[in-house]
Copies of this chain bind each other. A is one copy, B any other.
Amino acid sequence: MSTGSAGVRPAAREGDSRPRPARPGPAELTAAALAGDRRAVARLISLVEHESAALREVSALLAPHTGRARVVGLTGAPGVGKSTSTSALVGAYRAQGLRVGVLAIDPSSPFTGGALLGDRVRMVEHATDPGVFVRSLATRGSLGGLSWATPQALRVLDAAGFDVVLVETVGVGQAEVDIASLADTTLVLIAPGMGDGIQAAKAGIMEIADLLVVNKADRPGADHTCRDLAAAIRMSGSDSRAGTATGSPDGWRPEVLRLEAVTGQGLPELVAAIGRHHSWLEESGELARRRLRRAGEEISQIALAGLRARLGALDEGGRLARLAEAVTEGRLDPYTAADTLLRELPRSRTVGS
């Protein structure tokens, strides 16, 4: 269970009778993943996550097969029931015959350990289902954002033919914003009675939520929370994220939905709402715009990472340390130091090489 997807492996191994070389290359792995081999999918994601040298080759091989999966992001504060809700959605989409991938980027997720037994039991149920692929991704360092590998892992699942990919992430700081730029539809989960956290988060929530899901809707205060959120939506007066794109009169306004993820109460309504949002995305042209933005951001991130690596190379050579010393001694200001560093930046033809 240490990799978060290991629970899946025995089933995949049993169902897979082809002989396999000890170390398949990127091309073989990609071909196997495209053919639906879950072990190959898992290994490709590992490869992507560990910034393997084969990353570029894999990325190129996957490219023609991407762009089909619907991406649904789930975010919210710790304790709102993200994992239970994810699990419930997996069940609902499986009942429709869809293949579902789950990427969990959350240190408190049951996929990475530390959750209640009930959550584990529910996910284990899905883990033996060959139409479900669950994978946890470590957050990188203390950046608080999504793992940079998330978009790449998403491309792997997309290319491998998963119809829906659920991306679950704890709703704190940068990750919350990242998820909105990654997902087609972003669900922000809220639990009743979480007090001033809701107040504080309201502005941020309104910016990123396509659907506001009040989970644990059987709890006292659920009505109040729903009214509160509905009022906030009216007051914000915006057409959600669509407003940033075109400000079209047929913009999407976030809906407030009630859910009891544990019992499944409200689940059909949530699935229907996600469907409505997706139809709106397609019809309004917003889906294409969001995906263009996502690709643009992904390219920029990779380019920046490459530039950062080149800066890092100078760092290792001691150049940065000498400049930093000059700055601490007041002989140089940081801007002039940065100029000096950039003038020495090596040009390389490929990112990360």
Interface residues of A (CB under 8 A from B): 55-56, 59-60, 62-67, 78, 108, 142-144, 151, 172-174, 177, 200, 204, 207, 288, 291-296, 298-300, 302-304, 306-308, 311, 315, 320-321, 323-325, 327-339, 341-343, 349-351
Q: Are B328 and A62 in contact (CB under 8 A)?
A: no
- Other CB < 8 Å A-B pairs besides A299-B341, A300-B320, 10 of them? A66-B330, A67-B329, A142-B174, A142-B204, A144-B174, A288-B328, A293-B324, A296-B324, A299-B320, A303-B342
Contacting residues, chain B, for A207 (C-beta < 8 A): 142
A108, A204, A288, A335 interface centre (most CB from chain B within 10 Å): A335
Q: Which of B306, B332, B337 makes the CB contact (< 8 A) with A342?
A: B306
A177, A299, A325, A329 interface centre (most CB from chain B within 10 Å): A299
A67, A292, A303 interface centre (most CB from chain B within 10 Å): A303
Question: SS class of chain A's interface: helix, strand, loop or mixed?
Answer: helix
Contacting residues, chain B, for A337 (C-beta < 8 A): 295, 299, 302
A57 to chain B, nearest CB (A): 9
Q: Are A292 and B324 in contact (CB under 8 A)?
A: yes
Measured CB to CB, the nearest residue on chain B to A60 is: B333
A177, A293, A328 interface centre (most CB from chain B within 10 Å): A328
Q: Which of B204, B293, B294, B330 makes the CB contact (< 8 A) with A65?
A: B330
Q: Are A59 and B333 in contact (CB under 8 A)?
A: yes
Contacting residues, chain B, for A63 (C-beta < 8 A): 327, 330-333
Contacting residues, chain B, for A334 (C-beta < 8 A): 59, 151, 295, 298-299, 302
User: Within the oligomer, what is the number of copies of this chain?
Assistant: 2
Listed A/B pairs (22) with beta-carbon separation below 8 Å: A55-B335, A59-B333, A60-B335, A62-B333, A63-B327, A63-B331, A67-B330, A78-B200, A144-B144, A173-B174, A291-B328, A292-B324, A295-B328, A299-B323, A299-B338, A300-B320, A302-B335, A302-B338, A303-B342, A304-B307, A307-B342, A343-B349
Contacting residues, chain B, for A173 (C-beta < 8 A): 144, 172-174
Contacting residues, chain B, for A325 (C-beta < 8 A): 292, 295
Contacting residues, chain B, for A330 (C-beta < 8 A): 63-67
Closest 3 CB pairs of A and B: A173-B173, A144-B173, A302-B338
